[in-house]
């Protein structure tokens, strides 16, 4: 099918238009070349509008919605995930083809793009890919619960623990979390009933802890030890009468018995020589708070092991959402507000801010980057939609400050989302 050329003003370009000519423009210190056959994204159109280019040739056939690629998006190369598809060919500065469009990206291609300092690429968003990834992560989460169930059963029967399967499961979580943390946090909203009440809780705490560790750029070995520590942090509860596990309100003497699970856990895990020294320490310290108000010994600040601080925060959040009434629609909002109120008192501020960014919650006054490239400030949290706050856009996609900030309610704009925080609100 022959090209149907049309010369159009850059002001009239549309997302998905296909260039029928090559164009070279200057963007700051970078020279950007748009190649013939390239589909235009919102980002590329904006660059052309701000350049000296007035008109370009496009192939008008691709203004037919049946031919135009769906959901084109420009993303940073470091955010690429294997399985994504490129909309446009990727070239070096000298015009050498690196990788063609419509090809599924693998890790080799991603590494090649990063090595060649390709900062951004255009991809075709595919809802099926996101759904497939979600189901993969769902399988990983189900598997970790199965491994944990078998481990706890062996403990009760005083049989050996299968460390190999435990390590493999934690490795799966780390890989899944690195690929797409948001899919894993979505899974954590399940409130399944299990044969052992500790299974769902321990799995949730492990995933949350590993996500925090990843966001803190921990080394792989440390992540493995953190994952084991989080999965087994409540193992001492097997020395506590099971009826106390489910009770929301405990009498003073019952609370004293329940609190001993930290010491029991320390003894159990200290006797398993294959574990890192921090695994039993986390079992002992995961109820200690930064301000000394925790138990069993009232440790403060740096006296608490960093692993214990991470698992302690994840455990606190998990307990809040698991103990809430099932009719409470604001359970996640209330749990997060509780953590924010205790930032710097019960919990280390840096770890808390990392947790809030990871979970996708941004306190009022947090400065964020939107998927549009614009910069915004959080102005109001919506209690029944905590991940869709009200914002004011303060900078455009080129980081130019707006004379008049634009107020938006994200619940009314599903096409706009928060990509990351720039500065967490205090």
Per-residue model confidence as pLDDT tens for the chain (426 residues): 455 788 889 888 877 787 888 888 875 555 677 777 777 777 778 888 888 888 998 887 766 544 444 456 777 776 676 677 777 777 766 667 777 766 677 777 777 777 777 777 777 655 444 444 445 556 666 777 788 888 887 877 777 777 777 777 777 666 665 555 555 555 555 554 454 567 888 888 988 898 888 888 888 788 889 989 999 999 999 888 878 876 778 888 989 999 999 999 999 999 888 889 999 999 999 999 999 999 999 999 999 999 999 999 999 999 988 877 766 667 777 888 889 889 999 999 889 988 887 776 677 788 888 888 899 998 987 766 667 889 999 998 888 899 999 999 988 887 788 877 777 655
Strand 120-124 relative to strand 72-76: parallel, antiparallel, unpaired? antiparallel
Number of Cβ atoms within 10 Å of the Cβ of 54: 9
Rounded to the nearest 10 degrees, what angle do helices 197-215 and 220-231 cross at?
160
d(CA 282, CA 313): 12
Is residue 250 within 8 Å of residue 244, measured between CB atoms? yes
* Residues paired with 33 in a beta bridge: 24
8, 55 in Cβ contact below 8 A? yes
Sign of CA dihedral 155, 157, 163, 169: negative
**Crossing angle of helices 278-285 and 261-270, rounded to 10°:** 170
**Full set of structural domains in the chain with CATH:** 1-68 (no CATH), 71-125 (3.90.105.10), 128-359 (1.10.3210.10), 367-423 (no CATH)
The answer for residues whose C-beta is within 8 angstroms of residue 244's C-beta and 6 or more apart is: 250, 254, 257, 258
User: What pLDDT, on the 0 to 100 scale, is given for residue 186?
Assistant: 53
Distance from C-alpha of 424 to C-alpha of 42, rounded to nearest angstrom:
27
The whole-number pLDDT of residue 188 equals 57
Phi, psi for 419 (deg, rounded to 5): -85, -45
Q: Indicate the pairing of strand 120-124 with strand 85-86.
A: antiparallel
């Amino acid at each position: 099918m022959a090209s149907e050329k049309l010369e159009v003003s850059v002001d009239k370009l549309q997302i998905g238009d296909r260039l029928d000519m090559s164009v070279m423009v200057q963007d700051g210190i970078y020279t950007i070349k748009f190649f013939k056959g390239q589909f235009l994204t919102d980002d590329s159109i904006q660059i052309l509008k701000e350049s000296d280019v007035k008109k370009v040739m496009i192939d008008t056939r691709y203004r037919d919605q049946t031919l135009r690629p769906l959901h084109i998006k420009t993303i940073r190369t470091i955010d690429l995930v294997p399985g994504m598809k490129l909309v446009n060919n990727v070239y070096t500065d000298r015009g050498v083809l690196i990788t063609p469009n419509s090809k599924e990206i693998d890790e080799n291609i991603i590494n090649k793009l990063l090595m060649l300092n390709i900062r951004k690429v255009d991809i075709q968003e595919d809802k099926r890919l996101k759904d497939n990834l979600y189901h993969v992560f769902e399988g990983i989460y189900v598997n970790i619960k199965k491994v944990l169930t078998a481990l706890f059963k062996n403990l009760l029967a005083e049989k050996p623990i299968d460390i190999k399967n435990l390590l493999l499961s934690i490795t799966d979580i780390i890989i899944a979390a690195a690929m797409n943390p948001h899919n894993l946090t979505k899974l954590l909203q399940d409130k399944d009933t299990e044969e052992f009440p500790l299974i769902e809780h321990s799995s949730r705490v492990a995933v949350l802890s590993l996500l925090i560790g990843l966001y803190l750029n921990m080394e792989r070995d440390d992540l493995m030890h953190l994952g084991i520590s989080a999965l087994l942090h409540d193992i001492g509860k097997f020395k506590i009468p099971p009826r106390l596990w489910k009770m929301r309100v405990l009498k003073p003497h019952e609370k004293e018995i329940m609190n001993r699970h930290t010491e029991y856990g320390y003894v159990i895990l200290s006797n398993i020589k294959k574990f890192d020294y921090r695994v039993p320490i986390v079992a002992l310290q995961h109820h200690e708070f930064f301000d000394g108000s925790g138990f069993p010994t009232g440790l403060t600040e740096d006296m608490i092991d960093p692993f214990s601080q991470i698992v302690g925060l994840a455990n606190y959040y998990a307990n809040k959402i698991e103990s809430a009434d099932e009719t409470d629609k604001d359970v996640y909002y209330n749990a997060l507000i509780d953590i924010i109120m205790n930032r710097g008192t019960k919990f280390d501020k840096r770890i808390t801010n990392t947790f809030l960014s990871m979970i996708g919650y941004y306190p009022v006054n947090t400065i964020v980057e939107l998927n549009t490239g614009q910069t915004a400030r959080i102005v109001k949290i919506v209690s029944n939609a905590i991940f869709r706050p009200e914002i004011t856009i303060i900078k455009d996609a080129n980081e130019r400050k707006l004379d008049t900030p634009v107020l938006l309610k994200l619940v009314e704009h599903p096409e706009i989302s928060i990509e990351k925080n720039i500065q967490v609100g205090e």
